A and B are shown apart, each in its own frame.
Chain A
Protein backbone atom coordinates (compact mmCIF):
# COMPACT_ATOMS: atom_id res chain seq x y z
CA UNK A 1 0.00 0.00 0.00
CA UNK A 2 1.16 3.50 -0.68
CA UNK A 3 0.65 6.64 1.35
CA UNK A 4 2.01 10.11 1.89
CA UNK A 5 2.13 12.23 5.01
CA UNK A 6 2.33 15.99 4.80
CA UNK A 7 3.57 17.66 7.94
CA UNK A 8 1.72 20.88 8.69
CA UNK A 9 -1.71 21.60 7.29
CA UNK A 10 -0.91 25.33 7.29
CA UNK A 11 2.43 27.02 6.69
CA UNK A 12 3.03 30.77 6.76
CA UNK A 13 6.10 32.44 5.35
CA UNK A 14 7.06 36.03 4.69
CA UNK A 15 7.39 37.21 1.13
CA UNK A 16 10.96 36.55 0.03
CA UNK A 17 11.55 33.85 2.64
CA UNK A 18 12.32 30.20 2.02
CA UNK A 19 9.38 27.91 1.42
CA UNK A 20 9.68 24.36 2.79
CA UNK A 21 6.73 21.99 2.59
CA UNK A 22 7.35 18.54 4.01
CA UNK A 23 6.25 15.23 2.60
CA UNK A 24 7.10 11.69 3.65
CA UNK A 25 5.97 8.69 1.69
CA UNK A 26 5.43 5.00 2.15
CA UNK A 27 5.56 2.63 -0.76
CA UNK A 28 6.24 -1.07 -1.21
CA UNK A 29 8.00 -0.49 -4.52
CA UNK A 30 10.17 2.35 -5.85
CA UNK A 31 7.73 5.23 -5.90
CA UNK A 32 6.80 7.89 -8.34
CA UNK A 33 6.30 11.11 -6.41
CA UNK A 34 4.45 14.28 -7.29
CA UNK A 35 3.70 17.73 -6.00
CA UNK A 36 0.49 19.41 -7.10
CA UNK A 37 -0.75 22.93 -6.43
CA UNK A 38 -4.36 24.01 -6.15
CA UNK A 39 -5.25 27.67 -6.39
CA UNK A 40 -8.65 28.79 -5.10
CA UNK A 41 -11.51 27.58 -7.29
CA UNK A 42 -9.14 25.81 -9.65
CA UNK A 43 -8.14 22.25 -10.40
CA UNK A 44 -4.94 20.50 -9.49
CA UNK A 45 -1.85 21.53 -11.39
CA UNK A 46 1.32 19.47 -11.51
CA UNK A 47 4.32 21.32 -10.08
CA UNK A 48 6.89 18.57 -10.51
CA UNK A 49 7.38 14.84 -10.37
CA UNK A 50 10.08 12.34 -9.58
CA UNK A 51 10.23 9.11 -11.53
CA UNK A 52 13.79 7.80 -11.75
CA UNK A 53 17.23 9.27 -12.15
CA UNK A 54 18.24 12.61 -10.70
CA UNK A 55 16.94 12.97 -7.18
CA UNK A 56 16.66 16.76 -7.32
CA UNK A 57 13.69 17.65 -9.44
CA UNK A 58 12.95 21.14 -10.70
CA UNK A 59 9.43 22.20 -11.39
CA UNK A 60 7.45 25.20 -12.47
CA UNK A 61 7.38 28.57 -10.71
CA UNK A 62 10.83 28.09 -9.15
CA UNK A 63 9.88 25.09 -7.02
CA UNK A 64 12.05 22.05 -6.58
CA UNK A 65 11.96 18.86 -4.54
CA UNK A 66 14.54 16.31 -3.55
CA UNK A 67 13.85 12.60 -3.35
CA UNK A 68 15.66 11.11 -0.35
CA UNK A 69 15.18 7.38 -0.22
CA UNK A 70 16.94 6.96 3.12
CA UNK A 71 14.54 9.42 4.71
CA UNK A 72 11.52 8.43 2.59
CA UNK A 73 11.01 12.12 1.98
CA UNK A 74 10.16 14.37 -0.93
CA UNK A 75 10.12 17.89 0.51
CA UNK A 76 9.15 20.84 -1.67
CA UNK A 77 11.22 24.02 -1.54
CA UNK A 78 11.42 27.44 -3.10
CA UNK A 79 14.20 29.87 -2.19
CA UNK A 80 12.06 33.00 -2.15
CA UNK A 81 8.30 33.06 -1.64
CA UNK A 82 6.11 35.24 -3.79
CA UNK A 83 2.60 36.39 -2.99
CA UNK A 84 1.32 34.38 -5.94
CA UNK A 85 2.57 31.17 -4.29
CA UNK A 86 -0.29 31.28 -1.79
CA UNK A 87 -2.23 28.10 -2.52
CA UNK A 88 -2.74 24.56 -1.29
CA UNK A 89 -0.01 22.05 -2.08
CA UNK A 90 -0.49 18.33 -2.30
CA UNK A 91 2.17 15.65 -2.24
CA UNK A 92 1.22 12.43 -4.02
CA UNK A 93 2.64 8.98 -4.70
CA UNK A 94 2.04 6.30 -7.30
CA UNK A 95 3.23 2.73 -7.10
CA UNK A 96 2.52 1.96 -10.71
CA UNK A 97 5.18 3.98 -12.40
CA UNK A 98 2.55 6.25 -13.84
CA UNK A 99 -0.85 7.61 -13.02
CA UNK A 100 -2.92 4.48 -12.69
CA UNK A 101 -3.71 5.28 -9.09
CA UNK A 102 -2.30 8.34 -7.40
CA UNK A 103 -2.60 8.68 -3.63
CA UNK A 104 -2.65 12.23 -2.32
CA UNK A 105 -1.62 13.69 1.00
CA UNK A 106 -3.94 15.86 3.03
CA UNK A 107 -2.48 19.06 1.66
CA UNK A 108 -0.64 22.05 3.07
CA UNK A 109 -2.04 25.55 2.75
CA UNK A 110 0.71 28.04 2.16
CA UNK A 111 0.13 31.60 3.30
CA UNK A 112 2.56 34.28 2.14
CA UNK A 113 2.72 37.34 4.35
CA UNK A 114 3.69 40.63 2.73
Chain B
Protein backbone atom coordinates (compact mmCIF):
# COMPACT_ATOMS: atom_id res chain seq x y z
CA UNK B 1 0.00 0.00 0.00
CA UNK B 2 1.28 3.52 -0.73
CA UNK B 3 2.66 5.51 2.20
CA UNK B 4 2.84 9.07 3.42
CA UNK B 5 6.40 9.72 4.55
CA UNK B 6 7.33 12.12 7.32
CA UNK B 7 10.76 13.33 8.33
CA UNK B 8 12.30 13.54 10.81
CA UNK B 9 10.68 11.00 13.11
CA UNK B 10 11.89 12.95 16.14
CA UNK B 11 12.83 16.59 16.41
CA UNK B 12 14.13 18.36 19.47
CA UNK B 13 14.32 22.13 19.50
CA UNK B 14 14.75 25.03 21.87
CA UNK B 15 11.85 27.29 22.70
CA UNK B 16 11.70 30.21 20.29
CA UNK B 17 13.42 28.37 17.45
CA UNK B 18 11.85 27.73 14.07
CA UNK B 19 11.13 24.18 13.00
CA UNK B 20 10.05 22.71 9.70
CA UNK B 21 8.32 19.36 9.61
CA UNK B 22 8.40 17.61 6.30
CA UNK B 23 5.96 15.31 4.62
CA UNK B 24 5.88 13.56 1.28
CA UNK B 25 2.25 12.76 0.47
CA UNK B 26 1.24 10.01 -1.89
CA UNK B 27 2.01 11.14 -5.40
CA UNK B 28 -1.47 11.35 -6.95
CA UNK B 29 -3.14 12.84 -3.91
CA UNK B 30 -4.65 16.31 -4.03
CA UNK B 31 -5.67 17.11 -0.46
CA UNK B 32 -3.18 17.48 2.35
CA UNK B 33 -3.57 17.85 6.07
CA UNK B 34 -1.67 18.36 9.29
CA UNK B 35 -2.93 17.01 12.58
CA UNK B 36 -1.26 16.94 15.97
CA UNK B 37 -1.56 14.83 19.10
CA UNK B 38 -0.33 16.19 22.39
CA UNK B 39 0.68 13.35 24.68
CA UNK B 40 -2.37 11.85 26.34
CA UNK B 41 -4.79 13.98 24.35
CA UNK B 42 -6.81 13.47 21.22
CA UNK B 43 -5.69 13.98 17.67
CA UNK B 44 -6.47 17.58 16.63
CA UNK B 45 -6.98 19.01 13.17
CA UNK B 46 -4.61 21.83 12.29
CA UNK B 47 -4.98 22.66 8.62
CA UNK B 48 -6.10 21.38 5.25
CA UNK B 49 -4.50 22.33 1.94
CA UNK B 50 -5.79 22.00 -1.59
CA UNK B 51 -4.84 23.56 -4.89
CA UNK B 52 -1.86 25.31 -3.31
CA UNK B 53 -3.81 27.11 -0.67
CA UNK B 54 -5.19 26.57 2.80
CA UNK B 55 -8.80 25.41 2.59
CA UNK B 56 -9.48 25.27 6.30
CA UNK B 57 -7.60 25.80 9.53
CA UNK B 58 -8.34 25.37 13.19
CA UNK B 59 -7.95 27.92 15.95
CA UNK B 60 -4.71 26.19 16.89
CA UNK B 61 -3.21 27.16 13.54
CA UNK B 62 -2.28 30.74 14.41
CA UNK B 63 0.24 33.10 12.83
CA UNK B 64 3.11 31.02 14.18
CA UNK B 65 2.18 28.21 11.81
CA UNK B 66 2.45 28.05 8.07
CA UNK B 67 2.24 25.36 5.42
CA UNK B 68 3.80 25.12 2.03
CA UNK B 69 4.05 22.77 -0.91
CA UNK B 70 7.24 24.14 -2.37
CA UNK B 71 8.02 21.70 -5.12
CA UNK B 72 4.96 19.61 -5.91
CA UNK B 73 6.06 16.69 -3.78
CA UNK B 74 6.88 17.92 -0.30
CA UNK B 75 4.31 19.37 2.07
CA UNK B 76 5.82 21.23 5.00
CA UNK B 77 4.60 22.61 8.30
CA UNK B 78 6.62 25.47 9.73
CA UNK B 79 6.40 26.70 13.28
CA UNK B 80 8.04 30.09 13.37
CA UNK B 81 8.82 30.44 17.06
CA UNK B 82 8.19 27.28 18.99
CA UNK B 83 6.59 27.24 22.42
CA UNK B 84 6.69 24.52 25.04
CA UNK B 85 3.06 23.71 24.33
CA UNK B 86 3.89 22.93 20.70
CA UNK B 87 5.45 19.67 21.89
CA UNK B 88 3.35 16.97 20.26
CA UNK B 89 3.26 14.30 17.61
CA UNK B 90 2.50 15.92 14.27
CA UNK B 91 0.81 13.82 11.62
CA UNK B 92 0.62 14.58 7.94
CA UNK B 93 -2.20 13.05 5.90
CA UNK B 94 -3.28 13.03 2.28
CA UNK B 95 -6.09 11.80 0.10
CA UNK B 96 -7.13 11.90 -3.52
CA UNK B 97 -10.43 13.39 -2.47
CA UNK B 98 -13.95 12.07 -2.80
CA UNK B 99 -16.06 10.29 -0.26
CA UNK B 100 -14.84 6.81 -1.09
CA UNK B 101 -11.17 7.63 -0.89
CA UNK B 102 -9.04 6.81 2.12
CA UNK B 103 -7.18 9.32 4.19
CA UNK B 104 -3.62 8.12 4.56
CA UNK B 105 -1.60 9.20 7.59
CA UNK B 106 2.14 9.30 7.98
CA UNK B 107 3.84 7.82 11.01
CA UNK B 108 4.32 11.24 12.56
CA UNK B 109 7.08 13.54 13.77
CA UNK B 110 7.51 13.75 17.51
CA UNK B 111 8.41 17.37 18.28
CA UNK B 112 9.91 18.14 21.66
CA UNK B 113 10.34 21.79 22.59
CA UNK B 114 12.72 22.37 25.48
Binding site for B on A (CB under 8 A): 32, 36, 41-46, 51, 90, 92, 97-107
Contacts and interface: CB of A to CB of B under 8 A. Distances in A.
A102 B91 contact: no
Given A44-B105, A100-B56, A32 B42 contact: no
Contacts of A44: 43, 91, 93, 105
B76 interface: no
25 contacts: A41-B107, A43-B6, A43-B91, A43-B106, A43-B108, A44-B43, A44-B105, A45-B105, A46-B103, A51-B100, A98-B98, A99-B101, A99-B103, A100-B31, A100-B48, A100-B55, A101-B45, A101-B56, A102-B45, A103-B45, A104-B42, A104-B43, A104-B44, A105-B42, A106-B41
Interface of B: 4, 6, 31, 33, 35, 41-45, 48, 55-56, 58, 91, 93, 95, 97-103, 105-108
Given A51-B100, A102-B103, A107 B42 contact: yes
Contacts, number: 56
Contacts of A46: 102-103
Given A98-B95, A101-B48, 5 more contacts: A45-B105, A98-B97, A100-B55, A102-B35, A104-B43
